[in-house]
Chain A
Amino acid sequence: MTHIINVQNLTVAYREVPALWDVSFSIQKGSMTAIVGTNGAGKSTLMKTMLNLIQPVRGEITIMGESYDRIKEKYKKIAYVPQREAVDWNFPINCLDVVLMGRYGHIGLLKRPGKKDRDLAMEALKRFGMEYYHDRQIDELSGGQKQRVFLARAYVQDADLLFLDEPFGGVDAKTEQMTLELLQEEKKRGRTILVVTHDLHSLKKYFDMVLLLKTKLIASGQPDEVMTPENLTEAYGGMMHMDLRG
């Protein structure tokens, strides 16, 4: 099995306070991995550090055998759906234009998106059931619809790796279900998927691997191995009394 992502001894700190401490793991190509843990456990930090948006104090990250800053044409390799709070929703822009931004990496400096890019963007909106909203302002969308527009944007990037930061926060169950099904399809097409999530119920059904974080990596591996009562107590403290067998 090939490891598409390798993280070794990663430590990240915000003003001397560690957000991630000595985290190491590898991810297999074509797998779907969940990053779980409490708020402040370092889930988003881990994702952003892997995307080179945050500089680590120590440690090494290689993606397809290269460190991030040496990967050429990243937009073809890595797509990213940020947390919804990260985007300015009052910006005057419609859905189609947001999705078109996924093509910007392919288009290059100074050039404009062409008809082919527009067709691809419309196709992506259709795939996520949003084609009727293509000329709608983004601030008029519901949480689930916003999420779908961002998934469509990641989709038109045509990337090998797909990073999603809390795609299910404030999203209805139907959208979550639909998103997970679509991610399964992407996985089948050989894409490697990483999802920061709070929904522990979906882990077993959809994910190949779980990273359980609490600044340190408490456990990693298949959902069954990771989601043991001991590990959960360590990650979440005494708060976890959920029935996770379902």
Chain B
Amino acid sequence: MNIFIELLLAVMLISVVLAIPGNYLVLRGNTMTSYALSHSILFGIMIAFLIVGDLDSPLLLLGAALTGLLIVWAVENLSTLRHVNIDAALGLIYLFIFALGIMLVSLFASGTTISVTSVVTGNIALIPFDRWIFSGTDMGPVLLWQTLAVFVLSSGFLFLFRKEMKLITFDPEFASLMGYNPFFFRMIFMSIVSITVVTVFRAAGVILVVGLMIIPPASARLISNNLGTMILTSIVISLFSGVLGFMIAWRLKNVEIASMVIVVNAIVFIFAFFYHSSLKNGKEKV
């Protein structure tokens, strides 16, 4: 495989793996969770780094995943409190943890591959340099395989439990009356989101993680009227925007791939928005 194909595959996989769970975040009005998760990862990585003392240790990812789960747990608890403005509380938490993370980077990790810029935009172009060598054979970029594994886990869970996830997202009280524990399903789902974000984070960065989790599902919501169609539509939109954005960035050479992909996604959203409003207007006239 040459670098172009490897990068294209990576962009496609990242697009899909983020867009699928994003549908449930958008429907629950929980998009702030993706901000909180993506901003807290740096802190988790740095804490793990300070304990382990090795920047290449897989324990760093574990640290990040655990921090993510902690954040999710905090968010879930906040949302059960009355009289707490969740938006404000979440905004406070994630900026606080992000600031702590940046502080730790500048104190202990200056001169390493971790930098604030790499956290924000990620670096997709570096994906092909980290390769998986299996008993002497070059299997391709590590990240490609990791993302594929997360994709299987995440879409497997959401497919098998699509009935349950629909119920707990739409009407959690009714779900618990029916014997489906909404908290249990939500925690599993949020753990999967956390693992997903941690996995693609090094390549994708905050911009792509947040953008791909929110924009394609939001566009899909505007033009579809059931959950299944919405998820499929978000996959198609995310793939289309990912491939197109990547091609343009590849052609222009000096453009960040992540930013270009988000720009294309946002343009698709604008089209979806106008399509949606024209449908609505049409209906009102009839």
Binding site for B on A (CB under 8 A): 14-15, 48, 51, 53, 73-75, 78, 80, 82, 86-88, 91-94, 97-98, 101, 104-105, 107, 109-113, 137
Contact = CB atoms under 8 A, between A and B. Distances in A.
Interface in B169-212: 169-171, 173-174, 176-180
Contact of B170 (A48, A78, A88): A88
B267 interface: no
B163 A112 contact: yes
B77 interface: no
Contacts of B178: 74-75, 101, 104-105
B224 A87 contact: no
A93 B177 contact: no
Given A92-B226, A92-B227, A93-B226, A109 B164 contact: yes
B176 A53 contact: yes
B163 A92 contact: no
Nearest to A72: B179
B179 A91 contact: no
A43 to B, nearest CB: 16
Contact of B171 (A15, A86, A107): A86
Contacts of B167: 101, 104
20 contacts: A51-B177, A53-B173, A74-B177, A75-B178, A75-B179, A80-B177, A87-B171, A88-B27, A91-B227, A92-B221, A92-B224, A93-B227, A101-B167, A104-B167, A105-B177, A107-B163, A109-B180, A110-B163, A112-B163, A137-B225
B230 interface: yes
A65 to B, nearest CB: 19
For chain B, the bracket of interface size reads: 20 to 34
Given A101-B167, A104-B178, A92 B225 contact: yes
Nearest to A110: B160
B226 A94 contact: yes
A86 B172 CA distance: 9
A58 B28 CA distance: 33
Contacts of B226: 92-94, 97
Contacts of B224: 92
Interface in B218-233: 221, 224-227, 229-230
A15 B226 CA distance: 39
Residue of A14, A78, A101 ringed by the most chain B CB atoms within 10 A? A101
A78 B173 CA distance: 13
Given A75-B177, A82-B171, 14 more contacts: A74-B178, A75-B179, A82-B174, A87-B171, A88-B27, A88-B170, A88-B171, A92-B227, A93-B226, A94-B226, A101-B167, A105-B178, A109-B180, A137-B225
A91 B169 contact: yes
B170 A87 contact: yes
B164 A101 contact: no
A80 B179 CA distance: 13
A136 to B, nearest CB: 10
6 shortest interchain CB distances as A-B pairs: A105-B178, A91-B170, A75-B178, A104-B178, A92-B225, A92-B226
Nearest to B27: A91
